[in-house]
A and B are shown apart, each in its own frame.
Chain A
Amino acid sequence: SQQGEEDPQALSIQEGENATMNCSYKTSINNLQWYRQNSGRGLVHLILIRSNEREKHSGRLRVTLDTSKKSSSLLITASRAADTASYFCATDEEDSWGKLQFGAGTQVVVTP
């Protein structure tokens, strides 16, 4: 079963603009992770936020976590054409022993 649900399903923006995508989940978690996937490739880990953290930054990425609303957001600032990819959130549920539940992803297209 898939726990994370991303919104929107697709996003088209121009270079320099910010991209925001959201993820909702259903159960208690140890952490929530965001991954990027370029077409036909494996996933690349972007950022992990633990259940006791509310915000985390990594370069042009900003992730927030609201455990009371069971939701997270990923913000990519000053987007570049190279940011074109699918972005997935994945939840590490409590007592799941490392099993991640992935959402269906947000497909982001950044045009020059």
Chain B
Amino acid sequence: DGGITQSPKYLFRKEGQNVTLSCEQNLNHDAMYWYRQDPGQGLRLIYYSQIVNDFQKGDIAEGYSVSREKKESFPLTVTSAQKNPTAFYLCASSSVAGVSSYNEQFFGPGTRLTVL
């Protein structure tokens, strides 16, 4: 059963704590992405990775960190430096369609992070 999984589904964090959100895919996709979604809004890109051991900042990377040690895994750490981390976090992956062009993205079910 191929797909993309995220865990946990719900996460509660105290102020000042770092937390790590898991994202795993078995689609053999090269590219992986992390998005943040706030209520009633679209998705904003946090980080993305086109290949193992490489990643780039998206539009709102401050206060977040990632790693890409394995093709299947792209964990996101929300650090204490992120001032307003309460949001819905979505992970996605995609394959390459051509030079600088990728195919559609497949999304995980999301992690809802709440800061207490």
Contacts and interface: CB of A to CB of B under 8 A. Distances in A.
Q: Do chains A and B stick together as partners?
A: yes
Interface of A: 1-2, 4, 30-31, 33, 35, 40-45, 48, 88, 90, 92, 94-100, 102-105
A42 B108 contact: yes
Identify the 7 closest CB pairs spanning chains A and B, nearest first: A98-B102, A42-B107, A102-B42, A45-B104, A30-B101, A102-B43, A43-B107
A88 B59 CA distance: 18
Interface in B73-113: 88, 90, 92, 94, 96-97, 100-110, 112
Contacts, number: 73
Contacts of A92: 101-102
Query: On chain B, which size bracket covers the interface?
Result: 20 to 34
Nearest to B109: A42
A87 to B, nearest CB: 11
Interface of B: 6, 31, 33, 35, 40-45, 48, 50, 58-59, 88, 90, 92, 94, 96-97, 100-110, 112
A97 B102 contact: yes
A88 B37 CA distance: 12
Most-contacted residue by chain A among B43, B59, B106 (CB, 10 A): B43
15 contacts: A1-B59, A33-B105, A42-B6, A42-B110, A43-B43, A43-B92, A90-B43, A98-B31, A98-B50, A98-B101, A100-B45, A100-B105, A104-B40, A104-B41, A104-B42
A35 B33 CA distance: 16
A27 to B, nearest CB: 13
Nearest to A29: B101
Nearest to B101: A30
Contacts of A33: 104-105
A84 to B, nearest CB: 16
